[in-house]
Each structure stands twice: as C-alpha cells, then as structure tokens.
Amino acid sequence: MSISNTPRTATIDDAPLVGRTLTRAFGDDPMMRWFFPDDASREAGLERYFSTLFTRQYVHHAVCERTEAAAAFWVPPEAQAKAVPDEETVQELRTILGDRAPLFGEAVENAARHTPRQPHWYLAVIGADPATQGQGHGAALLRSGLAKADAAGMPAYLESSKPSNLPFYEHFGFTVREKLRLPGNGPELWAMWRAPRRPTDS
C-alpha cells in the first residue's frame, strides 16, 4: 500500500513523526552534516534539532504541514518577526549543537543579512524521507505552500545547501537569486526566489 502524500496540518502531536522524517531527509544535507559532523551522533542530534525547532518555534508561528513521509514549515510575512527563536530555544539549540553552536549562530546571522526585505513567504524547512523518493511527498507540500503564497499575491523565498535539489525547486518556478558561502569555510547556500503566480499562470 502506498503512503499517503496528501498534505495535512502538522500539530504538536506530530512532533515525533516530523522529527524522524526530517532527520532522514537531511541526513546527507551538506549544511546539516557541517553542523553535525560526527557520524555516530548525527542522527540523534538532527532529531533533537528538528524536534526543538518544530515544537518551540514553527508549530506556533508558521504554517506547518506534513504528509506521512514529509514535512514543511512555511513562514508568512506577518509571522516572520515572531518566528525567531526566543532565548530559551536558542539555549536549547546551543546545547544540541555543542561546539558547533558558534558556527551555527554565524551561519544564521549571515543568511539573515541576505534575506529579501520585500514581504514574502519563507520556506524555512522542507524534507521528505529518502525511502519514499519519487512518491510526490515533497512536491505535494511545496505545491500546497506555494498555493497559499499565490493566493496572498506573495513571492516565496528559500535557501538550499544541496545543489541536487535546485532543479526540483526550479521546476516550481524558483530561480537562484544569490549564492553564499557560509562562514568558517562552511558549505555553499543557494538563495532562491519565486514571483507570485495568478491562477491563469502556467
């Protein structure tokens, strides 16, 4: 039986599923491997990281959706000021990241300096379990979020540190706006932008 790829709202009760799914999705992501360089502890670190972001930040201030094998967190423009982690969340992330926390902080600050000032929907996180690749989970969540952005007449913005994902986003109308190198000789980050579409646009 195929796993459902129908988007639904992710609630706090979905935290274990969301954490596991995003851990699998980002296991080979260059930026996440940079933040969690130890192979032995990476999986546990990633699960704590994504669960913390979801339960303390995005589930309260973002549009969080999931399928049975993927999750996405979208932040509309009116929520972006509130979606910034509070001090308690920042401290928890520092604990999770250990000696990589300073690099993480620099990376976040660097990316923030390049964030467009124009109001937009921000795709903070999207990931699908690699075991379900090709079943349309990520595409379903991307379409759902973009439909909301389009309905609001808003552009969309994301950052990707995995070059193989760029054609996927380009298929949905994103274009590379800028390429960044994260501090501390970190991985490259591609900033991508998509103009809003009307219902009649292809």
Domain ranges of the chain: 8-194
- Tokens in use for 5? 């790829």
Q: Taking all residues of the chain, what is their mean pLDDT, rounded to a whole number?
A: 93
d(CA 26, CA 33): 8
**pLDDT for the residue numbered 201:** 60
Contact 50, 18 (CB under 8 A): yes
Give 40-72 pLDDT, tens digit per residue. Answer: 999 999 999 999 999 999 999 999 999 999 999
Most confident of 79-93, 96-110, 159-173: 159-173
Name the residue with higher pLDDT: 201 or 54: 54
**Which residue carries 């596991």 as its tokens?**
20
Range 8-194: architecture per CATH: 3-Layer(aba) Sandwich (3.40)
Beta-carbon contacts of 172 under 8 Å, excluding residues fewer than 6 positions away, are: 139, 142, 143, 146, 194
